[in-house]
Amino acid sequence: MPLTFANENEEKKILKLGGKPEVKQHLADMGFNIGSNIQIITKSGENVIVKIKGTRIALSRELANKIMV
């Protein structure tokens, strides 16, 4: 399921990255790698704030939908 469907404060494992190769590379450069644990901190409007590898990152909903958990 896309990351945006996960509940807040629930830790999930990244199973797949979607999108064009440039999008996948951009996500990988930010630390979103298959097998990594990720947690949604909050969903607000068009943004999703996640915690990955001890860091909080804000993503657009569009980009977050490309991360499958």
The rounded radius of gyration (Å) of the Cα atoms in the chain is 11
Domain ranges of the chain: 3-68
Give the number of residues written for the chain: 69
**pLDDT at residue 56, rounded to an integer:** 96
Top-level class of domain 3-68: mainly beta
Interval 1-60: pLDDT, tens: 999 999 999 999 999 999 999 999 999 999 999 999 999 999 988 999 999 999 999 999
Q: Reduce the secondary structure of the chain to three states and give it as a string.
A: CEHHHCCCCCEEECCEECCCHHHHHHHHHCCCCCCCEEEEEEEECCEEEEEECCEEEEEEHHHHCCEEC
- pTM metric for this prediction: 0.91
**pLDDT at residue 45, rounded to an integer:** 86
